[in-house]
Amino acid sequence: VLQIVTWTGIYGLSFVATAVNSLIAYGAIHRSKAWLGAGALVIAILWFLPILGETPSGDTLDVRLVQTNIPLDQPWKKPASDDLLNELGALSTREATKTRLVVWPETPAPFYLNEDKDFRSRMQQIAKKLGAYFLVGYIDAIGEGPTNSAALLNPQGQVVSRYDKMHLVPFGEYVPFKRLLFFAESLTRQVGDFMPGTDYTLSPLDQHRIATAICYESIFPDLVRQFVKRGSELIVVITNDGWFGESSAPFQHLRMGVVRSVENRRYMVRVANTGISAIIDPYGRIVGRTPISVRMVLDGTVRYRSDRTFYTEYGDVFAYANALAAAAIAVAAVYDRRRFRGRERKHVRRTH
């Protein structure tokens, strides 16, 4: 049933879930075996329905996902910071293979690629040693404000693209309605004051183009869709879910990435600081994943795709159609009620 999102988006799944649950609820209330049976039959069909019309993908890309597992209380004074970066550098380059793209997660630390020469040199060394492209999260700036950014370095260590996170986390990366919330300054003082990006950046990788979404941007279908519609052949998501520990949140965040992959029929490379890092294929199958809270690398192979789904091309048409249908039904119900009341009044007048 997940495959319907290539046409309907995530709202199609919600529609199916609501419809099936309504069948079961109606059958239970009216003690109707027919309705209950219909609900059970739909569930069985959706459960065992195979993936239909699976099409092959394009060129391959060997990737290395580096799950840095940097704790929230990591000290950033030397020599502790140097020791950590030395370990992560060795982890990223160990057993050098045919990896073409190395990915670090959303920055969980004060990493400054442009301002910190030592950090920049370390990142360049990783790219050069592996002879691979290297995507890394870091803190940059737009004007006088900081940005949550990701840079792609080529195998020579040169920055070839930069993406600034557009959809910031309210009360985490910025304070919405800051002027109206002046009275809560003591509560919002520790909140970041990041600046949002404005461009759907596509990064060049050999003869292909890839897109990067940062953290919870992956929960927004239209944002990810716009990257693919503009020509992205691969989706990369970098995130830091360390704030959630081993709760259900990292698992839920991963499942949202699964839906984004299917909606747009793209491979997804998902790298999380503390996990779950994963490689997801265009049909929602998780072909490789890591456990939570383990510092490790995950090597795998993905494929580029350039085709577009109906959802990629037209977006939430299904949702808008449902909203219009609901509005039309509501208007029709109001109109029928008024017409019925008008008939009642005429009938009362005639009888008197």
The set of catalytic residues is 106, 165, 215
**Is the Cβ–Cβ distance between 298 and 288 less than 8 Å?**
yes
d(C-alpha 228, C-alpha 306), whole Å? 8
Q: Which residues contact 166 (CB under 8 A, 6 or more apart)?
A: 196, 197, 198, 200, 217, 223
Q: Which two tokens stand for residue 202?
A: 């596509």
Task: Using the CB atoms, write b or e for 296-325: b if 16+ within 10 Å.
Answer: ebbebebbbbeebbebbeebbebbeebeee
d(C-alpha 139, C-alpha 145), whole Å? 10
**CA 169 vs CA 147, 192, 248: distances in Å:** 12, 9, 19
**CA 292 vs CA 190, 242, 343: distances in Å:** 27, 9, 67
**CA 226 vs CA 57, 137, 147, 154, 213: distances in Å:** 20, 21, 21, 24, 11
In degrees and rounded to multiples of 5, residue 226 shows phi and psi of: -65, -35
Place of tokens 């503009």: 230
Q: Which alpha helices (H) appear in 49-93, and where do they start and end?
A: 80-93
